Amino acid sequence: MRRNPAFTTGVGAIAVATLFSLAACSGDSGGGTASDGGDKDPYVIGYNDDLSGPISFAGLTNLAGVETYIDYINDQGGVNGHQIDLVKLDSRADGATSVSNYKQLVEDEGALVVLGNSASSAYAATGPLGEQYEVPMIGFGNADDFFTTYYPWLFKNGLVGTQQAELLAQTVEQVRDDVDGLKVGILASDTASGPVHIDAVNEIAKEHGWEVVETQLVAIGATDCTAQAAKLAASGADIIMSNVTSVGEDIICFQQLEQRGFAGQVFNTVSSATENTYATLKSPNWIGLRNFSWWEDDSVPGIVDMASRAEQFGTASQLGAYSTDGYIAAILAVTALNACGDDCTGTAVRDALEGLTDVDTGDIAGPGLGFTTGDLGHTTPQSRAYRWDDAEGKSVPVTDWLTVPGR
């Protein structure tokens, strides 16, 4: 049985400069690390996500990104002379199972950091264990209420709802010539994230002098958005700020808005960032945020590297919509491990994650990638907006990388 040394060992300050030696050693995007080739015990990274349940499409493609990067690092010699041992457990998107998995990964396997956590419910359930076991977690479940309490051991590989609304407002200002006195409609998913989105957009509208004229809720995966679309189209809204998801209601709601005469733009959060949505709608009026570049975008150097590494290490057929999330999470975790030295602990990894400020990902993520600290917890508060381009036959950026003000 491998016990995590965080239970018995303290940690001193970490020199931030060591966090960036990974990229310097590899000479290409996405990092790398030199190794002395010594025979050292492996660093253990845990993976705790839905691999067989209702959102396994996220957990499995996320895992493919994680495995691709860790296989690459191990092939380069590991980190500080340590190979990385990735231990994977299936949470089935269930909170109790996720808790049991986390304890096993930390207590029995000696994990120094745990990745995964696609399901918000599972992420929120495991969150309190971070402080108890002193081992951080990196995930992208949208447990916004939990993050806003600033849990020191919890790191979100993305933005909370309030931050997304702020970046939507930045996008509106960059895309439109006329932003004074805008009339805004709100379309929100009828989930726990819905009220967060509604409150955030109302606050943003007030700050910009915009008027919210209609608010509607729609269920995830809804096959009919007629009533919501009719009310929004009749409201006189110039734009709609939404957080509908790529499970299906994004497409149906937009199509029914157009059928009812709405000719304005819909600005959506990262909850509907798949290329399928853009390719199906083929409309310049659907504009959405992405935390990371699309996993098939071969114009992005970091994506080219990820694809090449996936081919080399046999994970190419498993890549999908959430693979960049996992790939970036692995880069962040490995960069933090690089700062630990031989006596790495969960506390040292946590401190190193907090110190990340400018991790190079070859444009998969923005140039200032790192985690915030403060009242919105540890998040990566940057994104880029995309819209469909007929000439390119794909979605293309309409903004540069955007960052939440003051973070």
Three-class SS of residue 289? strand
| pLDDT score at 147 | 64
**What's residue 119's pLDDT?**
82
User: 204 pLDDT band (50/70/90 cuts)?
Assistant: very high
Mean pLDDT to the nearest integer, 38-51: 91
Chain mean position to CA 389: 24
> What pLDDT sits at residue 211?
98
Q: How far apart are CA 84 and CA 335, in angstroms?
A: 12
Q: What is the mean pLDDT of the chain?
A: 88
What confidence score (pLDDT) does residue 288 get? 97
Q: How far apart are CA 347 and CA 92, in angstroms?
A: 28
Q: How high is the pLDDT of residue 144?
A: 62
Structure tokens, 314: 């046999």
pLDDT at residue 14 is higher than 50: no
Instruction: Taking residues 277-282, report their average pLDDT.
Output: 97
CATH superfamily of 5-159+295-371: Response regulator (3.40.50.2300)
- All structural domains of the chain with their residue ranges: 5-159+295-371, 161-290+384-403
pLDDT at site 149:
62
Q: Please give the Cα distance from 214 to 229 (Å, whole number).
A: 11
pLDDT band at 16 (very low <50, low <70, confident <90, very high): very low
CA distance 313 to 30: 16
Instruction: Report yes or no on whether pTM surpasses 0.85.
Output: yes
What is the Cα gyration radius of the chain?
21
pLDDT, residue 29, reads: 52
**Residue 197: per-residue pLDDT:** 93
Comparing 35-49, 62-76, 212-226, 235-249, the range with the smallest average pLDDT is: 35-49
56-75 and 323-338 helices cross at what angle (nearest 10)?
40
DSSP state letters, 190-259: SSTHHHHHHHHHHHHHHHHT-EEEEEEEE-TT-S--HHHHHHHHHTT-SEEEE---TTTHHHHHHHHHHH
* pLDDT for res 383: 95
How far from chain centre, in Å, is Cα 69? 16
For 17, residues 6+ apart whose C-beta sits below 8 A from its C-beta are none
Distance CA 40, CA 341 (A): 12
161-290+384-403: which CATH topology? Rossmann fold (3.40.50)
User: Is the dihedral angle over the CA atoms 313, 318, 321, 327 positive or is it negative?
Assistant: negative
How far is it, in rounded angstroms, from Cα 268 to Cα 289? 6
Q: Is the pLDDT of residue 319 over 60?
A: yes
Question: pLDDT grade, residue 193 (50/70/90)?
Answer: confident
Burial of 9 (0-12, 13-18, 19+ CB in 10 A): middle
Residue 4 pLDDT? 38
| pLDDT above 50 (res 33) | no
Residue length of the chain: 407
* Residue 191 in this model has a pLDDT that exceeds 50: yes
Q: Which residues have C-beta within 8 Å of that of residue 48, sequence separation ≥ 6?
A: 89, 91, 98, 101, 102, 105, 114, 115, 116, 117, 122, 126, 137
pLDDT on residue 5: 35
Q: Which residue has the higher pLDDT, 108 or 6?
A: 108
Q: What pLDDT does 326 receive? A: 96
pLDDT over 70 for what percent of the chain?
88
CA–CA separation, 27 vs 302, rounded Å?
12
Strands ordered across the beta sheet of 378-379: 84-90, 43-49, 113-116, 137-139, 154-156, 378-379
Phi first, then psi, for residue 367 (nearest 5°) are -70, -20
What single string gives the DSSP state of each residue in 32-57? ---------PPEEEEEEE-SSSTTHH
Mean pLDDT of the region 210-214: 98
